[in-house]
Copies of this chain bind each other. A is one copy, B any other.
């Protein structure tokens, strides 16, 4: 089996139980600071109501593990299977994504009860059974799946709060001033590089197999693009000069009347940014965040530079090994343009496609990644909302070129001789 090989040896019952409880409780923690009303709404189609995330991640464990492997297991509620399926055609019908915000029921309390019911059952299941490779893989995948939704929870909660007309705030503590970035370039020579996941531990199918890739000499910026740099682009009328824009990007800018990054606003000549810390004055040293591929590409053109390919960015990231510092337990906004990863997902010029000899996960999770390889661009490097123990440098995030509600930013590249 394709997925069995990727499992580390230490996936014992105990380690699973511990990780399971840690990861599952984190989802509820994220929601501690919002109101019941915030759990239910869907101000744009890409956003899901937080209560849907809480139900859907639970559904994953119920449908892919308990229903299939736990003899005598009774579903918590007969209608939740269709309600909390996101897009798995092989697992029956699912509710249209854009309709999630139309459903007031089940209530948040009922979904929390659903979580408890499934958690108790799964803990009992893990404790009582010898797990097969497939089960271990599915639990591991379910935890990574839940972590992806934790990042989505931050993104969606931010969008939901910011969609209100009255002011809102998620975190009450203040956000410190950002340090001034020091610009520099990391240079890389021509040649064959290894790309993709080749280590122990969990990885998604789309990161594999590791393979050779030929690169020409390039340099990557040691700093992320900052608010200050992007403000200069705006002041140079970057949004109204077609020469910087992709054809579809130009149409998007004009049809949607785009004039600044998603959460920016200008009041009486002063610029502000809506963050999980509330509306705050724009800090020019802070990493730029919440921009589309179209904007990233136009900005790079204006700078007479370019976006890196995903292979180039992976080579750059591989210079550093991951440390515990990735843990952003309290930081909810990018604040250091000098960090190599873990601040903002960086747009690459690579459209999301299969690595040579790519195989989808076997079995029930074969719909996880491959079917989205169309009209999306790859982003690399993790962000402040990415949970601990989830990210790898080979991680391929992907979004459509007009999307901006994720923590997306820019790290520039250039050709060298």
Interface residues in chain A, defined as those with a beta carbon under 8 Å from any beta carbon in chain B: 35-44, 51, 77, 79-80, 82-83, 87, 89-90, 95, 99, 101-108, 160-161, 163-168, 192, 211-216, 242-243, 245-250, 293, 349-354, 356-357, 366-367, 371-375, 401, 415
Contacts and interface: CB of A to CB of B under 8 A. Distances in A.
Which 9 residue pairs are nearest across A and B when measured between Cβ atoms? A351-B351, A43-B102, A89-B242, A37-B104, A38-B104, A36-B36, A375-B375, A105-B164, A37-B40
A415 B357 contact: yes
Copies in the complex: 4
A160 B101 CA distance: 11
Nearest to A108: B37
Contacts of A212: 214
B104 A164 contact: yes
B37 A39 contact: yes
A300 to B, nearest CB: 12
Given A211-B216, A242-B89, A103 B163 contact: yes
A243 B105 contact: no
Contacts of A352: 351
A342 to B, nearest CB: 27
A213 B357 CA distance: 16
A212 B213 CA distance: 10
Most B CB atoms within 10 A — which of A77, A165, A215? A165
Contacts of A44: 102
A43 B82 CA distance: 18
A360 to B, nearest CB: 10
B166 A83 contact: yes
Nearest to A248: B374
Given A247-B87, A373-B246, A375-B248, A102 B163 contact: yes
20 contacts: A36-B36, A37-B39, A37-B51, A37-B105, A41-B103, A79-B166, A80-B166, A102-B163, A104-B161, A211-B216, A246-B372, A246-B374, A248-B375, A293-B374, A351-B353, A351-B374, A351-B375, A356-B415, A357-B415, A375-B375
